[in-house]
Amino acid sequence: MTKILLIDDDVELTDMLADYLKQENFTPTIAHDGEEGVDEALSDAYSMVILDVMMPKMGGTEVLKRVRQKSTVPVLMLTAKGDDTDRILGLELGADDYVPKPCTPRELTARIRAILRRVSPALPDSPEVIHVGLLEIYPENRHVTWDGTPVVLTSTEFNLLKVLARHAGQPVSKNDLSLMVLDRPMARFDRNIDVHMSSLRQKLPLLPGERSCIQTVYKHGYQLIRE
């Protein structure tokens, strides 16, 4: 059974979510404060972390920052409804996705399954290596190198880069990226893809002339340069 870590100080909410997750064949563990949550998240015992932004002592953004220093475990943020600042900050710090509170257990479970599908596809990926210039992507073990040097990416960043690499030299629309990477069409004012792409650009070395290998193609989306 897939182990899920819930980090939230709301006892009533986490108990309800844990009960629902058990019915959906997940194995939930609850941490009610940030420090305990960091320790648990870094134990390599969980397939995914559900993290609330608003917590006493250590907030969710600080928890995420500490986790991302040492781990690429998928993280789904719980944010206040309508609070774009928390959402964007969470994505910039390496969260894979977010769900606004209040949310239903069914919605949360659907989002969990979508992320887990992206991290561990039901069918094994092709063992072939994708080469684009100095970039090499190994889909089977989800490994990326640039000129032989490993590049550490979150699961969402890896999936974005893989899609762009398989369409290298051609623009891919934001909506297509959202469908292929986030398993849902892009909503109005949705900045998920833009924020993940910004983070991905920062992690990839620049091309000669201080150019990013990922170009924004006006009105068409994003394109990985084939050089």
Structure confidence at residue 184 (pLDDT): 87
CATH of the domain at 182: 1.10.10.10
Q: Judge if 86 and 184 occupy the same domain.
A: no
> Which residue stretches of the chain are H helix?
11-23, 34-41, 60-68, 84-92, 105-119, 155-166, 174-177, 192-203
Residue 216 domain flag: yes
Closest residue by Cα to residue 37 from 57, 16, 13, 12: 57
Structure confidence at residue 170 (pLDDT): 94
Q: Judge if 7 and 115 occupy the same domain.
A: yes
Q: Judge if 50 and 74 occupy the same domain.
A: yes
Which of residues 61, 92, 119 is at a domain's end?
A: 119
Structure confidence at residue 71 (pLDDT): 93
Per DSSP bridges, beta strands 135-138 and 143-146 are antiparallel
Contact at 8 Å (CB) between 26 and 69? no
Helix, strand, coil share (%) of the chain residues, nearest 5 = 40, 25, 40
Rounded Cα distance, 161 and 170, in Å? 13
Which of residues 85, 119, 153 is at a domain's end?
A: 119
Residue type, 8: D
Q: Judge if 170 and 147 occupy the same domain.
A: yes
Structure confidence at residue 87 (pLDDT): 84
Contact at 8 Å (CB) between 162 and 172? no
**Which residue segment(s) compose the domain that 103 sits in?**
2-119
Residue 89 domain flag: yes
Rounded Cα distance, 26 and 207, in Å? 44
Residue 136 domain flag: yes
Residue 124 domain flag: no
Instruction: Spell out the per-residue pLDDT of the chain, length 227, in tens.
Output: 799 999 999 999 999 999 999 999 999 999 999 999 999 999 999 999 999 998 888 999 999 999 999 999 999 999 886 677 888 888 999 999 999 888 889 989 999 998 998 877 545 555 689 999 999 999 888 899 999 999 999 989 999 999 999 999 999 999 999 999 988 888 877 888 999 999 999 999 999 889 999 999 988 899 999 87
Number of domains within the chain: 2
Q: Judge if 109 and 192 occupy the same domain.
A: no
Q: Judge if 139 and 173 occupy the same domain.
A: yes
Q: Judge if 101 and 6 occupy the same domain.
A: yes
Structure confidence at residue 125 (pLDDT): 52
Q: Judge if 108 and 191 occupy the same domain.
A: no
Which of residues 99, 119, 139 is at a domain's end?
A: 119
Structure confidence at residue 24 (pLDDT): 93
Q: Judge if 84 and 152 occupy the same domain.
A: no
Structure confidence at residue 121 (pLDDT): 55
Q: What is the DSSP letter of 129?
A: P
